[in-house]
Structure 1
Amino acid sequence: MRKMLKTGAVCCLIILEFACGSKSGDTTSPDTTTPPVVQTPQPYPGQLLALTNDATKELVLYDPMITDWNTDAARKWKWTPTTGQGFSANEIKIWGGGTDFKLRKRSFGQDTAIAALCDNSMAAVIGFPSGQRIWSKIINANVHSAELLPDGNIALAASDGNWVRVYAASQGADNGVYAEFPLSQAHAVLWDPGINGIWVTGQDVATKAHILTAVTVGGTTANPVLTELTQYRATLPTAWGHEVSPYYGNTNLLWVTTNGGEYIFNKTTKTFSTAPTNNLTFVKGIGNQPSGQIVLTRPDANKNPRPAVSCTMNDWSTSTVDFYTAGGQWQGARIVSGACFYKVKVVYDNYQ
């Protein structure tokens, strides 16, 4: 039986002619979406939500049952690399708040799980909740997404590096061996036990087509080999693929976002349908709670009008996390003053 993390328990990333820059910070005009009517915040039952915060350079797990996320009560866990956790001075210096975070249930000493995470110029595997370093590496390639594989290795997608890689992190804290699959503007990696492979988004190196596809990991744990599962390749409905997330409650579906829209992908039919949340543009992080509730992050720079409380340090983050019903009706938001959230993840410690 798939086990979800209990809420509140401390347990345990336009269709324009340009690709994404650092953290997918496209310089574009905001759309004309009408802002939802402000409502009194309500508690939302569900899993903890992981947010990457550029402003504080922290990964934070928030409780959606707490209505005011500006309080300590809402923050159930936070992390930034330190020397005490085993990270180098250079890793600490370049850490900018994170571009992805995925928690996976694996016993490791005092920890109940292991997390794969990344930032633009580094990636790491850490124990959870200790935050202790298991593996890490500085990688100057604009790393957008990370995933811990069942064998303990880590998959990464880098948009400037134009690759998807699997590092043999299971072989030691400093191991640098990796397998590579060339993919221009690679943005997402998600392990799927149903296909025994990794879902990825990017552009075909030769044709420049914007695609969602999957790769399988062969070879050995110490020396992995990546091969595309071409039977799963599909052309994205709009350009510049970004996020791929599990659709909890239906293993045949995936959440997929691009700069031009947000979609639900059917693995069997290889078709995309428009997401119920009004097909918003530039969605950086999206997922759903077991109840079906949808949660997402979208840059303040792409909202019109720009929210009164917003992220001003870059054009790819937001101070707001939005909540929608399964049918796409906006329910409310959590707004953190001064925050610059890039990506949101529903904290779920098993694969789907």
Structure 2
Amino acid sequence: MNNSTGNQGGDCWIAVTDQASRRILVFDSERKDWNSAEALKWSWSPSALNGFSDGPKGWGLPSDVKLRRNTAHGGESMIVCDSYGLAAIVPYPAGNARQWSQTIPGNLHAVELLPDGNIAIAASTGGWVRLYASSQGPDAEKHSHYDLPGAHGVLWDPQENLLWTIGDDWLVPLNVCGTASDPELAEDSDRKIRLPSRWGHDLYPVYGDADKLWVTTNSAVYQYSKSANTFLTNYAGADEINRMHVKGIGNQLSGQVVQTAPREGGLYAWTTDTVRSFSPNETFSVTNGAFYKARIWCAEYQ
């Protein structure tokens, strides 16, 4: 398939974690009909053919995916996790090797790849964030651990050299200490802030504004201002974007915002067959799809 990440001169493609097909699917954001063969640009699931000798072990409910560029892993990689336990780093667009993986209990909900090649993982039921020394080889198990009840999101901030994390009640920045082979996590207690509503969920950059982060909870969608240390609901388009139970959110540099939220009658209570877009207002649907998160397919941290 095409090895690009977007349309020339336009917006990036959009990735979804599809729990119906049990695949990561990447779609052309300029194609309106996502049921068409032309709309699907890339797909992936673990198998013996692409380096995962255990096949789909720990796989079946993909919960997060991101594209990252990293010299430690030789270029662009897809990072991915699944509620059944698989977390992995895979070369993109080849998708044909296992750069790192572990199967870890705890209901994995989010992943992030740090500049040194190590992977951060948030586990909701486990109630923790861990930083694995994945830079040290495909089977590296060494990790640092931080307790965070309801951990749902992790995001690296290259501007402040912090790992932002979100749980049930708190947005917590973590300092990454130690070395690549022996990483450590330390809470930045001065900047830890209680969420304005409970059950934190997604955490993502506001592309085009390095001061802002998208933050979702069970009841609202916020933008968090790092400089003001406050949560905002007066951002552009908030009247439509701000809604309950948003599982995944992101924006294009053009201003388009995409999000996923559960749709009644879906395969699971937490999935939808549709990605909603704002500015412009559009919907992208796949028949019998069961999307958990939508991701702007961009390798940049912010």
Instruction: Please provide the CA RMSD for this pair.
Output: 1.8
Provide the residue aligned with 2:4 in structure 1: 11
Structure 2 counterparts to residues 144-159 of structure 1, below 5 A: 144-159=109-124
The separation in 2 between residues aligned to 1:73 and 1:284, in whole angstroms, is 26
Are positions 1:341 and 2:295 aligned together? no
Distance 2:185 2:3 in 1: 35
Is 1:100 aligned with 2:59?
A: no
> Aligned partners of 1:83, 1:278: CA distance in 2, in Å?
41
Rounded to whole Å, the distance in 1 between the matches of 2:176 and 2:98 is 24
Contact 1:100 1:119 (C-alpha < 8 Å) held by counterparts: yes
Matched with 2:221 is: 262
Work out whether residues 115 and 148 of structure 1, in 8 Å CA contact, stay in contact via their aligned partners in 2: no
Matches within 5 A, 1:152-231: 152-203=117-168, 210-231=169-190
Structure 2 match to 1:324:
278
Please, which runs of 5 or more residues in structure 1 have no aligned partner?
1-7, 13-44, 204-209, 302-309
Residues 179, 225 of structure 1: 8 Å contact kept: yes
1:298 is matched with which residue? Answer: 261
- What is the rounded CA distance, in whole Å, between the counterparts of 1:108 and 1:190 in structure 2? 18
Q: Shift of the alpha carbon at 1:97?
A: 4.4
Unaligned runs of 5+ in 2: none
TM-score (ref. length: structure 1): 0.80
4+ residue runs over 6 A deviation: none
- Cα displacement string for residues 179-206 of structure 1 (whole angstroms, at most 9, x for unaligned residues): 0111011000000001101110114xxx
State the TM-score, normalized to the length of structure 2.
Answer: 0.93
Larger gyration radius, structure 1 or structure 2: 1
What is the CA deviation profile of residues 192-239 of structure 1, one whole-angstrom value per residue up to 9, with x for unaligned ones? 001101110114xxxxxx111110110111110100112321111110
1:134 Cα deviation after fit: 0.4
1:248 is aligned to: 207
Match of 1:22 in 2: none
Counterparts of 1:236 and 1:93, CA distance in 2:
35
Deviations 1:288-347, CA, capped at 9 Å, x for gaps? 00111110000003xxxxxxxx52x2100000100001xxxx611011110000001101
What is the Cα deviation at residue 279 of structure 1?
2.0
1:133 to 60, 84, 98: 98
Whichever residue aligns with residue 273 of structure 1, its letter is L
Instruction: Report the 3-state secondary structure (helix = DSSP H, G, I; strand = E; otherwise coil) of the residue aligned with 2:70.
Output: coil
